[in-house]
Amino acid sequence: MHLNIKHFLAVTISFSLLSSAMAGVMETVLAQRGYLREKPFVNYLKYLLYWKEPEYAKFLKYPHCLHMLELLQYEHFRKELVNAQCAKFIDEQQILHWQHYSRKRTRLQQALAEQQQQQQQTQAPSHGNTTSK
């Protein structure tokens, strides 16, 4: 099997632009078609580790993909992705993670906004208690 630029582009897109669930689907397709067993593709997965560097990672919309990229470095993980049950489990876990993460992040943002509002109210100068000489 010869890998072409379309396959490389598909993986790059799956890691940098798509949601974790879509990246999981892409990994499954790549595993089922045998790409994850090929040395050039495995080398490409190693190459993609540059996304972990802060100067690149800051551009990722879904940083969880870096964890999946790390897992793809292991041959055992790549082999297991061919198994539909395993791939489905991984997809479900990613979805659960994002659901929990979204709810938790919303609560944290609301709490932070309330805290900032309270700090602004307590730091506001009071005009009625000043006396002049």
CB 47 within 8 A of CB 107: no
Q: Which domain holds residue 44?
A: 5-116
C-alpha 58 chain-centroid distance: 11
CB hemisphere CA count around 86 (13 angstroms)? 13
Domain membership of residue 129 (yes or no) is no
C-alpha span between 7 and 76 (Å, rounded): 21
Residue with the larger pLDDT of the pair 16 and 55: 55
Evaluate whether residue 133 is within a structural domain.
Answer: no
Count CA within 13 A, CB hemisphere, residue 20: 21
Alpha-carbon gap, residue 27 to 82, rounded angstroms: 9
Q: Is the pLDDT of residue 30 over 60?
A: yes
Q: How many domains does the chain have?
A: 1
Residue 75 binned pLDDT confidence (cut-offs 50, 70, 90):
very high
Regarding pTM above 0.85, the answer is no
